[in-house]
């Protein structure tokens, strides 16, 4: 038989090598077709007496990334369709569909012939669940083998047997840790956990897998053997008695119960380990079906899996413009941001000229990369040679002539219009006529800066977030005159440095900072109302924010907040800033010199390590305190999420953000907006615009007009619309 996605070669010993190599794709993924073919291959291997066993491997650099977008999207649309056409049986049919991988994998492990997975590269999600169903697993000894069950990160969980096989191979604690965090394992760690049997040199992978078969690998999984015992003891053992109460508590501490997918993992393992394997798989399938019906799973998959990939692949890139090849990038300003921008550019293999006012300052900027390289080499993240090659790509300079052959120049000089104007002039005097100029300004509108440019259509904003090495998001800002060529170049650059872009129109604070400051200002309001500071921080985390607003403000720097508030007053008038906010911040900065983490004193105190930071006790004396019992934590949680989501809705109404995918992905990657919601607009769509408007009205009545729903929201509520319906990101491609 021939297959589209697999080839099979049986050798003289009767060992079948099943190579997964999907045509026209760089990565193998599980699709309905792949699954159907795998099903047929299992039958073929099982029924052909000449075949003694099989090795499954990949013909690509990676083993597989797991389930395909289309398959996951298909499950949601299938269920929606069933609810419309056959509501009484919709959940039952979803249950059948949710078990489709499990059925094939279980058939593979019980087919009577031994199977070995030869893991040659990254092996994620459903693909690792396939490997777990094999009787043997061999991994290549290379850093490119990354093993994970990351489903929880997109709101679901390993529902193709993962929650049952992992804790039957390794101790329960490690199994729970692996699945509830979605952590990536090296082959060494996977072997130590008992998830991989052997690690061999990459060129010996297939040979070793076959050797395992020849050595008489049993075609029976440990859990199908009589007398099988769960590693480390089962649920009803002293070890289990210690583990389970703590496991629930830890998960609660980490997630505040916001992630149904993570909670389901605990339930699957706890219940499954007490049951025979096939029944345990059914339990998993039931929870999987339940999770697929949650708003959290739907929204997280849409934003964190589908939209993120689409944006990363250039969903907003204008068509018909040749892809930019970057022979050289210029970075002007080798300070905090510029030094890091140079690093990520060089790390992506692109030569950079890093300019500052004098060569010493430029070299200081390069020293940042030297430190990062040293650390990475020390940690074995890359080799000495790779590190040296990276550094060789960064040329410090004080001479603008060195930018003459740069296709893109990014400025990260002081946040000062006059300094930036001078830099724009100096750069434009030397770069090629078709080169693009980008500003990393965080507060100055791009259209205003572009007025000093001699070619505003080639002028754009590329707004990075700190720390640049870690933050996956960049905001690309279009000035009034920015042309498609500049946008395409900026997006090509962001793709080259492997970050996710959102494209927004020009406005004060752009998208991310507009939302972030709403979050921080809500905390100011709570402080002023006398909400105990610890409650403010905890309520924000309970709402799903990764960092409390006061802690975040300390990181951003309180004097920067002061500068921004003052700039608003100067540019937009006194009414643009709440005088009580200004008074609070002036007191912190001017009277008390509490600037945040950078000077060791902010809303928190930062004692010398290893002591941990703690909320500054005196903060409680600023305003008469409400007793904690009088404060409704649920209201605090709503206030944080609603104030941010409302700001996001305003940016859509103003035409700043035009694609709901960007508002959602930008909010999660930019400032960690409660990821279980799927982002700011999914939060609104998820509860329904009507319910959101009602919530806003309640909050406005109790806490002020800043919560008033906008005209657009009211109109959408009246019409029963959603953001993804009204601002359908796929409308154009569907029409084409």
Tokens of 492: 């090509």
With CA atoms as reference, report the closest residue to 18 among 160, 223, 48. 48
Q: What is the largest CA-CA distance in the chain?
A: 85
| Binds ligand NAD by CB under 6 A, chosen from 334, 496, 564, 668 | 334
**Contact in structure between 128 and 103 (CB atoms under 8 Å):** no
Which of these ranges, 111-119, 175-183, 336-344, 625-633, lies near ligand NAD under the rule CB under 6 A? Answer: 336-344
Residue (426 or 687) nearer to ligand NAD, CB: 426
Residue (396 or 678) nearer to ligand NAD, CB: 396
Q: How far apart are alpha carbons 446 and 442 in whole angstroms?
A: 10
Rounded to a whole number of angstroms, the minimum distance from the CB of residue 24 to ligand NAD is 39
Site for ligand NAD in 177-206 (CB under 6 A): none
Residue (203 or 358) nearer to ligand NAD, CB: 358
Catalytic status, residue 89: no
Beta bridge partners of 439: 411, 461
3-state helix, strand, coil in the chain (%, to 5): 55, 10, 35
| Binds ligand NAD by CB under 6 A, chosen from 228, 236, 414, 730 | 414
| Binds ligand NAD by CB under 6 A, chosen from 126, 136, 159, 338 | 338
Residue (232 or 335) nearer to ligand NAD, CB: 335
From the number of C-beta atoms within 10 Å of its C-beta (0-12, 13-18, 19+), residue 386 rates as: middle
With CA atoms as reference, report the closest residue to 596 among 547, 638, 656. 547
Rounded to a whole number of angstroms, the minimum distance from the CB of residue 339 to ligand NAD is 8
Q: How far apart are alpha carbons 548 and 704 in whole angstroms?
A: 22
From the number of C-beta atoms within 10 Å of its C-beta (0-12, 13-18, 19+), residue 624 rates as: exposed
Contact between 423 and ligand NAD by CB under 6 A: the answer reads: yes
Rounded to a whole number of angstroms, the minimum distance from the CB of residue 422 to ligand NAD is 6
Site for ligand NAD in 645-664 (CB under 6 A): none
Contact between 561 and ligand NAD by CB under 6 A: the answer reads: no
Site for ligand NAD in 424-483 (CB under 6 A): 440-442, 463-464, 466
Rounded to a whole number of angstroms, the minimum distance from the CB of residue 656 to ligand NAD is 18
| Binds ligand NAD by CB under 6 A, chosen from 412, 487, 631, 699 | 412
| Binds ligand NAD by CB under 6 A, chosen from 264, 337, 531, 717 | 337
Site for ligand NAD in 352-411 (CB under 6 A): 355-357, 361
Residue (138 or 403) nearer to ligand NAD, CB: 403
Rounded to a whole number of angstroms, the minimum distance from the CB of residue 556 to ligand NAD is 8
Q: How many CA atoms lie within 13 A of 590 on its CB side?
A: 8
Angle between the N-to-C axes of helices 512-529 and 579-586, in degrees from 0 to 180, rounded to the nearest 10:
80
Rounded to a whole number of angstroms, the minimum distance from the CB of residue 415 to ligand NAD is 4
Q: Name the residue with the smallest CB distance to ligand NAD.
A: 335
Inter-CA distances, 237 with 171, 233, 275, 280, 700, Å: 13, 6, 15, 19, 53
Q: How far apart are alpha carbons 514 and 511 in whole angstroms?
A: 5
Tokens of 15: 């060992």
Rounded to a whole number of angstroms, the minimum distance from the CB of residue 414 to ligand NAD is 5
DSSP for 64-126, please give it. B--B-HHHHHHHHHHHHHHHHH-GGGHHHHHHHHHTHHHHHHHHHHTSSS-EEEEE-S-EEHH
463, 521, 581, 601: which one is catalytic? Answer: 463
Residue (360 or 392) nearer to ligand NAD, CB: 360
Q: Would you tell me how many other CB atoms lie within 10 Å of the CB of residue 420?
A: 23
- Strand, helix or coil at 436? strand
| Binds ligand NAD by CB under 6 A, chosen from 114, 240, 333, 602 | 333
Site size toward ligand NAD, by CB under 6 A: 24
Residue (510 or 676) nearer to ligand NAD, CB: 510
C-alpha dihedral sign at 630, 675, 473, 658: negative
Which of these ranges, 44-52, 127-135, 137-145, 412-420, lies near ligand NAD under the rule CB under 6 A? Answer: 412-420
Q: How far apart are alpha carbons 298 and 293 in whole angstroms?
A: 7
Rounded to a whole number of angstroms, the minimum distance from the CB of residue 675 to ligand NAD is 22
Rounded to a whole number of angstroms, the minimum distance from the CB of residue 662 to ligand NAD is 18
Beta bridge partners of 395: 353
Residue (419 or 535) nearer to ligand NAD, CB: 419
| Binds ligand NAD by CB under 6 A, chosen from 419, 430, 633, 700 | 419
The beta-carbon contacts of 345-348 under 8 Å, at least 24 apart in sequence, are 345/393, 345/497, 346/390, 346/391, 346/393, 346/394, 347/390, 347/497, 348/496, 348/497, 348/498
Contact between 504 and ligand NAD by CB under 6 A: the answer reads: no
Residue (285 or 442) nearer to ligand NAD, CB: 442
| Binds ligand NAD by CB under 6 A, chosen from 18, 332, 431, 585 | 332
Binding residues for ligand NAD (CB under 6 A): 332-338, 355-357, 361, 412-415, 419, 422-423, 440-442, 463-464, 466
Catalytic residues: 463
């Amino acid at each position: 038989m021939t297959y589209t996605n697999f080839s099979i070669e049986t050798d003289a010993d009767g060992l079948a090598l099943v190579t997964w190599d999907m045509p026209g794709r760089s990565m193998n993924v599980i699709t309905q077709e792949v699954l159907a073919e795998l099903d047929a291959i299992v039958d073929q291997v099982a029924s052909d007496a000449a075949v003694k066993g099989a090795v499954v491997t990949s013909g690509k650099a990676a083993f597989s990334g797991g389930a395909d977008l289309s398959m996951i999207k298909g499950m949601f649309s299938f269920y929606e369709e069933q609810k419309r056409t056959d509501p009484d049986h919709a959940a039952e049919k979803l249950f059948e569909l949710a078990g489709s991988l499990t059925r094939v994998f279980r058939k593979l492990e019980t087919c009577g012939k031994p199977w070995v997975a030869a893991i040659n590269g990254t092996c994620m999600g459903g693909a690792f669940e396939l490997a777990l169903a094999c009787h043997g697993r061999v991994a290549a000894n290379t850093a490119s083998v990354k093993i994970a069950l990351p489903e929880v990160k997109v709101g679901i969980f390993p529902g193709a047997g993962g929650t049952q096989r992992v804790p039957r191979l390794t101790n329960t604690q490690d199994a729970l840790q692996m699945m509830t965090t979605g952590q990536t394992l090296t082959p060494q760690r996977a072997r130590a956990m008992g998830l991989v049997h052997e690690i061999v040199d990459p060129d010996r992978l297939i040979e070793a897998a076959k050797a395992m078969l020849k050595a008489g690998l049993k075609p029976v999984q440990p859990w199908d053997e009589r007398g099988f015992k769960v590693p480390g003891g089962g649920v009803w053992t002293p070890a289990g008695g210690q583990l389970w109460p703590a496991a629930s508590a830890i998960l609660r501490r980490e997630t505040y119960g916001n992630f149904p997918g993570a909670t389901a993992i605990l339930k699957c393992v706890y219940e499954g380990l007490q049951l025979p394997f096939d029944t345990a798989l059914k339990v998993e399938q039931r929870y999987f079906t339940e999770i697929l019906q949650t708003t959290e799973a739907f929204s997280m998959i849409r934003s964190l899996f589908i939209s993120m990939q689409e944006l990363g692949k250039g969903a907003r890139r204008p068509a018909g413009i040749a892809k930019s090849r970057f022979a050289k990038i210029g970075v002007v300003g080798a300070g905090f941001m510029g030094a890091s921008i140079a690093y990520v550019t060089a790390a992506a293999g692109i030569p950079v000229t890093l300019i500052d006012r004098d060569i010493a300052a430029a070299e200081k900027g390069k020293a940042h990369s030297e430190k990062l390289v040293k650390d990475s080499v020390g940690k074995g993240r890359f080799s000495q040679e790779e590190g040296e090659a990276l550094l060789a790509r960064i040329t410090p300079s004080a001479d603008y002539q060195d930018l003459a052959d740069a296709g893109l120049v990014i400025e990260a000089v002081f946040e000062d219009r006059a300094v930036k104007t001078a830099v724009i002039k100096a750069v434009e005097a030397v770069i090629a006529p078709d080169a693009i100029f980008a500003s990393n300004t965080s507060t100055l509108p791009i259209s205003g800066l572009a007025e000093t440019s001699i070619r505003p259509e080639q002028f754009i904003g590329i707004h990075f977030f700190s720390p640049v090495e870690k933050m996956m998001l960049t905001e690309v800002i279009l000035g009034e005159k920015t042309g498609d060529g500049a946008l395409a170049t900026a997006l090509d650059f962001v793709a080259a440095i492997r970050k996710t872009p959102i494209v927004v129109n020009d406005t004060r604070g752009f998208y991310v900072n507009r939302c972030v400051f709403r979050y921080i200002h809500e905390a100011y309001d709570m402080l002023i109302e006398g909400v105990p500071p610890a409650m403010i921080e905890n309520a924000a985390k309970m709402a799903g924010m990764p960092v409390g607003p006061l802690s975040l403000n300390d990181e951003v720097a309180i004097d920067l907040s002061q500068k921004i508030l003052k700039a608003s007053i100067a540019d937009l008038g006194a009414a643009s800033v709440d005088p009580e906010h200004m008074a609070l911040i002036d007191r912190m900065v001017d009277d008390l010199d509490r600037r945040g983490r950078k000077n060791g004193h902010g809303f928190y105190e930062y004692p010398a390590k290893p002591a941990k930071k703690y909320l500054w006790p005196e903060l409680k004396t600023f305003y008469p305190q409400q007793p904690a019992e009088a404060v409704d934590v649920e209201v605090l949680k709503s206030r944080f999420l609603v104030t941010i989501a409302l700001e996001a809705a305003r940016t859509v109404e103003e035409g700043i953000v035009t694609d709901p995918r960007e508002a959602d992905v930008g909010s999660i990657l930019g400032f960690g907006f409660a990821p279980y919601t799927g982002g700011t607009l999914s939060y609104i769509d998820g509860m329904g615009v009507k319910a959101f408007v009602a919530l806003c009205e309640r909050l406005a009545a109790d806490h002020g007009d800043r919560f008033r729903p906008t005209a657009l929201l009211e109109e959408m509520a009246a019409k029963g619309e959603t953001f993804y319906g009204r601002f359908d990101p796929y409308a154009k491609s569907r029409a084409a």
